[in-house]
Amino acid sequence: MKRFTITMFMACMMLTSLIAQNAGPALDVYFSPVTAEAATPDNEGFIRRWLLLEPIDKPNRSNIVFTDSYLREAFNTEYFKGQFTIFPKDGQKVKVGKQKLAWHALDSKLFNVKLFRFASGLEKQIYGVLFWAVTVIDCPEEMTNVRLAVGSNSGSMWWLNGEEAVILSGDRRMVKDDCTSKRLTLKKGRNILRGAVINGPGMSDFCVRFIDEKGQPVNNFTITTTQPKK
């Protein structure tokens, strides 16, 4: 039994090493730069266009249990000025401690946004980090009684127009529509959707869409990463 445990441990270490060695493919494998033309949700309603901030390294990240209380503290900590109010531009930098981290406007080539690959493609810290994502949902008319459906690896928290919509706690794997919000209203015009995703020693990604009362995808809106008009 002891020999089996050691063998399994070594296998896990080799797998982790292999992942790390192959963690840095070019960003264009999973992402493409945004275009001037507004995007739309994919066929299943998933939102693929995002402004992603380079990962924030979290201290004391080993052996952390992602409880609601821990995540709320982690996500509500102010890491950079205007964290919950500014709408960043592509290439804009923010100061986090002694680091300057840049925002990247990207379209995901998959329904799920591969944060691990985003970080590794930029040769940034890949484990024990916090990601910020923001996008604009532009609606031709008001839409009531919609829900935000999210899957993430690991914990995450999401805000719509500055109000908390849903939190996913625990060290979980990403599953489509893993958690859904209460009924929300997408106002006519521009709505700002923000998210924060934290991971530990493993992979990290997320998928987000809006669904209606019947659980069907809501897709009659456009998505942009340009500055919303006041």
- In this prediction the pTM is 0.86
What phi and psi, each to the nearest 5 degrees, are found at residue 43? -60, -25
Lowest mean pLDDT among 44-48, 71-75, 148-152: 71-75
118 burial type by CB count under 10 A (0-12 exposed, 13-18 middle, 19+ buried): buried
Tell me, yes or no, whether 22 lies in a domain: no
Q: How many domains does the chain have?
A: 1
What is the residue-averaged pLDDT of the chain?
Answer: 87
Tell me, yes or no, whether 17 lies in a domain: no
Tell me, yes or no, whether 10 lies in a domain: no
Residue 59's pLDDT is what? Answer: 54
* CATH, residue 186: 2.60.120
Residue 200's pLDDT is what? Answer: 82
Residue 20's pLDDT is what? Answer: 42
Question: Which domain covers residue 129, as residue numbers?
Answer: 27-224
Tell me, yes or no, whether 7 lies in a domain: no
Q: How many residues does the chain have?
A: 230
Q: Binning pLDDT at 50, 70 and 90, where does residue 177 land? A: very high
Residues 92-97 have a mean pLDDT of 95
Higher model confidence: residue 170 or residue 119? Answer: 119
